[in-house]
A and B are shown apart, each in its own frame.
Chain A
C-alpha cells in the first residue's frame, strides 16, 4: 500500500495545482472551441457570409471560396488586416481549413474571437466539403 503513496501524492499535488491554475489563469480554454456550421445551415442563413480561408497561400491560390479572405496563421497580421477590411457587422464569419479532420480552422476562428471579439464559426468538412459549392453560383447562400 505504502509503495503507491508517493505516486498518489505527486498526482494529487498536480491535480490540485491544475485546478487552482484553471481558476486563476487569465487564459480560458472553454472559448477555444468555436461552434461549427455545415453547408445546409450556412445556405439557410439570411446573413451574408464572409468566408475565411485558413489554408496556406499555395492551397488558397489553388482554389478557394469566391470572396474568401485568406487568414493563415503564419502570416497572421497581414491576414487579420485583410479580414478586418472585409468584415461588416452583419456578416457571418465562417472559417474553413483543408479537410474535416484539420484543426487549423478551430485555431483561426478562436484566435479571431480572442483578438477582435468577432464571433467566427468553423465550417464542418473543410475545403473538401466546400469545393463542390465553390464554383456553382451558390457560394453566397
Chain B
C-alpha cells in the first residue's frame, strides 16, 4: 500500500519550504534590489516599501522553517498560503496596470515575467492549501480535555 498521504504531505511541504527559503534568503542578502522591485509595482510609498523590504523576506524564511515543526506547521502553511495569495493579487494588479514590474521573488537569481509568477503563486497557494487540509488546526481552547 503506497502511503499517498505521506508522500503528498512531504512533497508539498518540501516544495513550499524550499521555494520560500531560497526566495527569502536571496532577498535578505540583497535588500536594495528587493526594495526597488517593490517600488516598481508602484503601490507602496518609500517608507512602507522599506519596511516590507526588511520584513517580508524574514517572514518567508521563518514560516518556511516553521513548516518543519509539527506544532507550527499549520500556521506556517497558512502564512505561506496567504503570502502566495497576496503575491498573486499584486501581480494581477501589476498586469492590469501594465507597470512593467517583474517579479523579484528570487532576487538577482532570476527575473520572472509577471504571468509566469502568477502561475507559480497559484501553484504555491495550492500546495499550502493541501498542507492546511492534511494538518489539523491547533486547538482553539486552552484545556480541551476539561468539561
Binding site for B on A (CB under 8 A): 1-7, 9-11, 13-15, 17-19, 21-22, 25, 27, 29-30, 32-33, 101-103, 106-107, 110
In the complex, the answer to whether A10 meets B50 with C-beta atoms within 8 Å is no
Residues of A within 8 A of B76 (CB): 6, 10
Q: How many residues of B contact A (CB 8 A)?
A: 37
Chain A neighbourhood of B32, CB < 8 A:
27, 29, 32
Q: How far is the CA of A102 from the CA of B100 in the complex (A)?
A: 9
B46 touches A14 (CB 8 A): no
A25 touches B31 (CB 8 A): yes
Chain A residues whose CB sits within 8 angstroms of the CB of B30 once the complex forms? 27
B140 contacts A2, C-beta separation under 8 Å: yes
CB distance from A36 to the nearest CB of B (A): 11
A20 and B30 alpha carbons, distance in the complex (Å): 15
Q: Nearest Cβ distance between residue B107 and chain A, in whole angstroms? A: 12
How distant is the Cα of A45 from the Cα of B2 in the complex, in angstroms?
Answer: 76
**CB-based contact B54/A21 at 8 Å:** yes
Task: A103 to B36: give the CA distance in the assembly, Å.
Answer: 8
Shortest B33–chain A CB gap in Å is 9
- Asked whether B139 lies within 8 Å of A2 as measured between CB atoms, the reply is yes
A5 to B57, CA, bound (A): 21
